[in-house]
């Protein structure tokens, strides 16, 4: 007699999760044969011909690295030391010397890796000090970059959205923002977009940042800055980094700064990031750094080298750093010009008020269109944007911006 044994897969309970919306949208765009298609979805910089742009500072950095001899050895677990030091010096500016010995730093897998490592070390330290306590809530603005919820929920944190955007006025909902902070439990974690808020392009003013900072300090909240666009937003690195410097140098609050060089150096696929943890004492910083090293070892062993060497060479070379600052002005300037031209085109072809578009800044524009209109623009006009009508302004150029403005106006007129 033969006995049949039925074995079940360990993965049988795995659900089918929908693909990431932006990457799926990019795949649709690539498959579209239309010669008039426009990709306003993925946030990658393009030049006025719609092509990827290798920054002159990056090109020169690569040349220097190749002349020295490009080796492919392992990096230390925490990454390139000079890269980490120069990144911290860049971010904190004149205040760096006063906090240098209170910093724990690690090279990361771009901004996502930095956010994940920040969440990991916060979780590790809190569970060590209070093993029976639940993890603090992570407050995340709504709307936000979709990966924020995914990263922190995957680590076991409870994530909670709070209103950031007022769809009626198409502006920052600062009263709701402040009331949320005042009501948050002591010790909660607050995700702060350092500049160029994704997706709305709306940032607090310096006065509003001071109000936010005052509540954060008063209620002992932990600010976690997602700083993916420093320098890329306004073309002025010091201006874009001001909120981070204010919280750390002026308010003296412990903070995490999660950095990416994907956008501001165009190193998208090289995954160059850095985590800066601002602690309260040099001893705590030393201990925290050791935990970072242990966590990094368990997750990726050590970070990739090539992109970090490019960034390190730029940051450590005064001539290259000046050239990079010029590159930042070039990119931000072209984006600002395309925002202006789109605004003027929408005003010319439609009867709506588009002032909200020029109140925004950075790579993205938040148009305020319905999902039905976004779908029609994709299906009939081959214009691809996120479902919430977030557009990458960098995807516009002199050859397509008028077409985009006219198409949006036509669809709005049809749907009225």
Active site residues: 145, 226, 263
Q: Which two tokens stand for residue 303?
A: 């970070």
Q: What share of the chain is helix, strand, coil (3-state, %, to 5)?
A: 50, 15, 35
d(CA 118, CA 112): 10
Q: For residue 171, give both structure tokens.
A: 């502006």
Indicate if the alpha-carbon torsion angle 374, 379, 385, 387 is positive or negative. Answer: positive
For the chain, the C-alpha Rg in angstroms (whole number) is: 23
Residue 215 DSSP class: H
* Per-residue burial over 373-407, b = 16 or more CB atoms within 10 Å of its CB, e = otherwise: bbebbbeebbbbbbebbbbbbbbbbeebbbbbbbb
- CB under 8 A, 24+ apart: contacts of 238-243: 238/93, 240/194, 240/195, 240/196, 241/90, 241/91, 241/92, 241/93, 241/194, 241/195, 242/206, 242/209, 243/192, 243/194, 243/195, 243/204, 243/209
Q: How far apart are the first and last CA of the chain?
A: 74
């Amino acid at each position: 007699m033969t006995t049949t044994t039925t074995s079940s897969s360990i993965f049988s309970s795995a659900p089918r999760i929908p693909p990431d919306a932006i990457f799926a949208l990019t795949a649709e765009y690539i498959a579209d044969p239309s010669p008039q298609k426009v990709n306003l979805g993925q946030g990658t910089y393009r030049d006025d011909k719609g092509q990827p742009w290798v920054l002159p500072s990056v090109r020169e950095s690569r040349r220097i690295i190749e002349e020295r001899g490009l080796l492919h050895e392992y990096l230390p677990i925490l990454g390139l030391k000079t890269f980490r030091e120069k990144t911290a010096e860049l971010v904190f500016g004149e205040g760096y010397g006063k906090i240098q010995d209170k910093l724990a730093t690690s090279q990361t897998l771009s901004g996502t890796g930095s956010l994940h490592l920040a969440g990991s070390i916060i979780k590790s330290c809190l569970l060590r000090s209070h093993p029976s306590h639940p993890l603090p809530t992570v407050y995340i603005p709504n709307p936000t970059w979709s990966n924020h919820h995914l990263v922190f929920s995957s680590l076991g944190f409870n994530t909670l959205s709070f209103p950031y955007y007022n769809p009626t006025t198409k502006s920052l909902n600062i009263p709701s923002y402040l009331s949320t902070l005042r009501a948050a439990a002591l010790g909660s974690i607050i995700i702060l977009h350092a500049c160029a808020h994704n997706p709305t392009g709306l940032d607090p003013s310096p006065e509003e940042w001071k109000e936010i900072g005052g509540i954060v300090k008063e209620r002992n909240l932990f600010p976690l800055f997602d700083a993916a666009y420093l320098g890329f937003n306004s073309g002025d690195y010091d201006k874009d980094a001001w909120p981070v410097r204010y919280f750390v140098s002026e308010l003296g609050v412990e903070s995490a700064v999660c950095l990416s060089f994907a956008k501001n150096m165009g190193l998208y696929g090289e995954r160059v990031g850095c985590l800066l943890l601002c602690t309260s004492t040099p001893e705590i910083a030393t201990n925290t750094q050791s935990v970072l090293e242990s966590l990094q070892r368990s997750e990726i062993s050590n970070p990739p080298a090539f992109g970090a060497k490019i960034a390190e060479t730029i940051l450590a070379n005064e001539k290259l750093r000046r050239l990079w600052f010029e590159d930042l002005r070039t990119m931000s300037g072209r984006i600002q010009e395309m925002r202006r031209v789109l605004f003027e085109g929408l005003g010319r072809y439609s009867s709506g008020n588009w002032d909200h578009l020029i109140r925004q800044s950075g790579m993205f524009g938040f148009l305020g269109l319905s999902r039905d209109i976004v779908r029609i623009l994709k299906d009939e006009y081959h214009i691809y944007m996120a479902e919430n009508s977030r557009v990458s302004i960098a995807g516009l150029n002199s050859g397509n911006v008028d077409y985009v403005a006219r198409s949006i106006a036509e669809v709005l007129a049809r749907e009225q």
